[in-house]
Amino acid sequence: MLPVIAVIAYGDQTRSAGAPYNLGSCYGNGKSPRDEASCAAFASKIQSYCNVNDPECCLGSDPNEHFVYPAQYDGQATGFVVDRYHAS
């Protein structure tokens, strides 16, 4: 079995404020924030994108915001995955 080298999340409902891998404009929690201890061992492999107006990951008020991530962040996320691949 091959190891997981990177994880990209867009609009994650389990987003927890203050996690080291959080990116985007949101600084709050998602609908069902997780216990960050469960992800601590994998933090260097994760990027989780959330924008402030997204009602799923930031309790925002614009449902359309939940669908903008690929256009907005695919370039940055791809760069992260490629870098992780080369580092593995």
The tokens of 56 are what?
């799923």
Q: What is the mean pLDDT of residues 77-84?
A: 98
pLDDT digits (tens, 9 = 90+) for 32-74: 999 989 899 999 999 999 999 999 999 999 999 999 999 999 9
CB 36 within 8 A of CB 15: no
Q: In the structure, what pLDDT confidence band is assigned to residue 2 with cuts at 50, 70 and 90?
A: confident
pLDDT recorded at residue 1: 86
Domains of the chain are 7-87 (3.40.50.1820)
Give the containing element (helix H, strand E) for 72.
helix 69-87
Q: What is the dihedral of CA 69, 71, 74, 76, to 10 degrees?
A: -90
Instruction: Kindly report the number of other CB atoms within 10 A of residue 83's CB atom.
Output: 12
